[in-house]
Structure 1
Amino acid sequence: MPSAEDPSQLLLRARNGDTGAREELIRRFTPFILAVVSRATGHFIRLGEDDEASVGLMAFNEAIDSFRPGGGSSFLTLAETIIRRRLVDYFRREGRHQRVLSLHAIDNETAATVDPLGGEAINMVNELADRRREIERYREELAGFGITFKDLVKASPQHRDARDRALAAARVVAANPLFRQYLLERKALPLKALEKSVETSRKTLERHRKYIIAAALMLIGDYEYLADYIGQGKRGGQDA
């Protein structure tokens, strides 16, 4: 089967019972599926190793049958919705809580609404694959500081004002060459000096230490996609 075949034709054939077209469509969109599952679970998902990957693949297969052209939403939007729902079902069955890697923005991200069955779909899948690689690189950098994604879920400030203060501290660390050097060399925050530079007590800085470090590393590193989640991406947005 030609690998360059239009995804819209693959989808049509898959819905009409063509098993080969269905398998090719799933294969082609596997990076998209894994990216959605990775965002929803908060950790890097490996095909063939993580049960969540299988849940995502089955949900995508379900989306092929559920999609109705002209129904008002794109196929990938529907697929992401079904994948997330099936993951919730899976976690409930397993007696686990859904884990979401988030600096309180990633969890609010929605699927793109562009028509996924043209050239834009390939670009979207490629972008999602890039995001997946970026998430893995970030995970590895955090590991060097003894921080895991699970730690971030627990360490994320629950209130907006606390989160804003923590992000402000992270921005100060990232912008100050001495603070940045201290962080990268000692794998710790320069708490004494930082306290004098922000309107936050040392006790609060210590309480949100992991979150501040994670946000600072995101700002310091070349994280084109992830930095957008805290308002400092290459597009220059600010945290709302």
Structure 2
Amino acid sequence: MLLSIFQGLFKTKTKQTTSELAQKAKAGDEEVLSDLLFAFTPFMKKTASFICKRPIDEHDEEFSVAINGFHEAVMAFDSTENASLQTFAHLIIKRRMVDYIRKETARKEKVFLIQSSNEEAHASEQQYLFDKQSIHTYTEEQQTVARREELIRYRELLAVYNLTFEELTKAAPKHADARKTAFHTAQIIAETEEFYNSLLKTKQLPLKEIEAIVEVSRKTLERHRKYIIAVVLLLNSDFVYIKEYVKGEII
């Protein structure tokens, strides 16, 4: 079984093989689950190290958090809903790592280490409360005006990156799986400070760095570049009404 895992993951590396193994593990096959955890150990270490910005090995508590995050991803993985196990697992592991870091920081009373994260979370909460109140108090006419203004601002933002709505209509992935993969890749970029800042600075995707994290080829990333950039900009914006159209895609 272990040999087939390695052949499937690191030789052919097909999404179907990984998805089938994940479904078997999810269904209760402990041997497959154990082999998946072993085969993806380098990926879990790399993801944990990337988030913590330091080397992580089996002796670190962060590695245990990464394992638990990967296990959670396998148990929640749905090939009809998620782009790929690796991409989905990266998002789950990152969130569990962030939760762990915040709890540890609070316990040790080193609030300054995550001050920016807390401020961001507080700002997001305040924005949510403001948006919720606004939605309830706006008249239908005011909501229409607000949507129109958001579209104008979004169009202007896209123009900075030499993108237009017309181009995005043509560039959007046609197949559902490809669209989910591109969207979840964009979500990783939007949630990763280094990637997002690089996009803001260069107006280009840091393809080499992204390719090392997600289970997507350079060719596919380049083909969906325009769509990915547009989604990243939307996810990190305050465009409340436009985001309503994509909230079902967010992991």
TM-score, scaled to structure 1: 0.46
TM-score, scaled to structure 2: 0.44
Higher share in helix: 2
